[in-house]
Amino acid sequence: MKKMCRYFCMVVAVIMVTSILLTGCTDKTGGTTDTVKSGGDTITSEPTSKALDPYEIHWYLGCGAGSQPDSGLIEQELNKYLKDKINVSVKLFIFDWGSYQDKMRAILASGGKVDMFFSCGWSMNYKDMARGGWSLDITDMIAEYAPHANEVLDGPFIEYPKVDGRLYNLACNKEKAANAGVLLNKAYVDKYGFDLSSIKKYEDLLPMLKTIKENEPDAIPIDSSPKSNIGFMAGLVCLGNGLLNYFVHPKDSDEFVFMYDVPEILELVQTQRRFAEEGLIMPDAITVTDKNPALKSGKVFCSHEQLKPGKDAEMTVATGVEWVQVVLTPTLARDFDGSMMAVAKNCVNPERVLMFYDMFYYDEYLVNLMDYGIEDVHYVKVEDNIIDWAPATEGGAKSGWNHGVSWVIGNQFLSYLLKDEDPLKWVKFQEFNDAGVITDSTYFIFDQAPVDNYISQLRAVSNSEDVMLKVGLADDIEGTISSFRAKLNAAGLQEILDEVNRQFREYKANR
């Protein structure tokens, strides 16, 4: 089947090239381009660098592993490849997730050169970046300078992340659905013969967590942290990330409500409290900002995660620890703003930056250079799109380019698969996307402009009670929720909720 597909693609490419020679269409680069859709994939002629002045792109990214030793090598390969295409060079700046947001905000505020940066719903919040004047409105530029991205992302990935009706970000083409659950350290699962089929809900983890605590004194049974999205762990639609996590849409409800008014969330909080009372959570759970060092240590048994097909294999690559995943919630269509890139407002050549990033939606070589590095240096080919880590990297552990975040860049469906990954991964991703349950609130986008003042006031409120509840350290759950609600109400919680539901009613009436 692969050979037939490749043969077909070659035929299409020949037809395409012939078409260019006969009727090539000139673009703003001074070169020629053409595209054709086949089997859902975009086949394209290459842009040329004719009449383009050189331009250096400063690209800022986050990843769990932080700065990569071989960033310089990757830059060299990028620059060599791109020079004759669009005449750009690239400087990569990579920070660990724990420090990415603070560093990125400081760099933007300082006026330093930034051309493109990672900005989504949960890091460098894209709405804040757009409204604060840090990211560029690309609405009227995307069709001309990023046509492949425009075509590949057409639909929710374009419409949902708009801010006040304008587009500021390009999403990674990846899963559009999501569910939640846990990753379990396979070494411990195998050692103690845990039956994963017995885990139907969060509290079912308790006997396993206690076994780990009793027999593995150096282990961390579960990595509860302040960043846990309790609403999503309950299988509910949240209004958004950050403060908007406080507003959830319960099943079979006509309105959004405050998260701690939902029985399913209260049940999770009570379970989390029991885990903490049993001494099963991380010692520094209340202050941890980055779980990756603990995950890489191999000492964590259970980790809360947003899941998707192959998430366990992806995390195995990223951490060097083998994981298995257990899904605990329904699959919802929802993850439209979880991984995106923004062009900086002060970028002096946004057209060229968009041309550059557009290539990551159709150019397999570029996608995999950023994903896995250089062939025969960082990885070796096993089959057409199946790879393994190069021998000298000791299974990737000593690779200078093993960041584990292919889900942040371009078109993930062009990524190679590691030999231990499911060969049907991308087929299953598509099935996963198609299976995502669409609720009344799936495509609802809250315009917070009418209540911006209350949002600002809410942001200033200490979330210490919320953190205590999420990690299980609140002795008096009811009292802690009451105290937290009172503080939020004083800052405008109800006013925001009223506006959310007013817009939600209007949205449903006009669907």
pLDDT at 29: 34
Q: pLDDT above 90 covers what percent of the chain?
A: 73
Amino acid at 273: R
Q: pLDDT above 70 covers what percent of the chain?
A: 90
pLDDT at 426: 93
- pLDDT of 71 strictly over 50: yes
Q: Are strands 41-44 and 35-38 parallel, antiparallel or unpaired?
A: antiparallel
First to last CA, the chain: 41
Query: 35-70: per-residue pLDDT in tens?
Result: 322 223 443 445 555 589 999 999 999 987 789 999
Question: Please, which pLDDT band fits residue 251 given cuts at 50, 70 and 90?
Answer: confident
Mean pLDDT, the chain, rounded, equals 88
Compute the CA torsion angle 278, 279, 282, 288 (nearest 10 deg): 80
Which range (11-20, 248-257, 307-316, 428-437) has the least confidence?
11-20
Query: 382-426: per-residue pLDDT in tens?
Result: 998 999 999 999 988 899 999 988 899 999 999 999 998 899 999
pLDDT at 404: 83
Distances in Å between the Cα of 193 and the Cα atoms of 5, 186, 197, 320 are 43, 10, 12, 21
Mean pLDDT of 446-461: 92
Domain boundaries, the chain: 1-45, 48-172+337-423
pLDDT at 375: 97
pLDDT at 24: 35
Mean pLDDT of 294-309: 92
Mean pLDDT of 437-442: 90
> How far is 257 from 265, CA to CA, in rounded Å?
12
- Write the DSSP string, 61-124: EEETT-S-TTHHHHHHHHHHHHHHHH-EEEEEEEEEHHHHHHHHHHHHHHT---SEEE--SSSS
Give the DSSP letter of residue 339.
S
CA 424 to chain centre: 21
Question: Please, which pLDDT band fits residue 244 given cuts at 50, 70 and 90?
Answer: confident
Which tokens hold the place of 152?
A: 């590949």
- Topology annotation, domain 48-172+337-423: D-Maltodextrin-Binding Protein; domain 2 (3.40.190)
Question: Please, which pLDDT band fits residue 198 given cuts at 50, 70 and 90?
Answer: very high
Mean pLDDT of 249-272: 93
Q: What strand order describes the sheet that includes 237-238?
A: 237-238, 247-249, 257-258
Mean pLDDT of 327-351: 94
- pLDDT of 25 strictly over 50: no
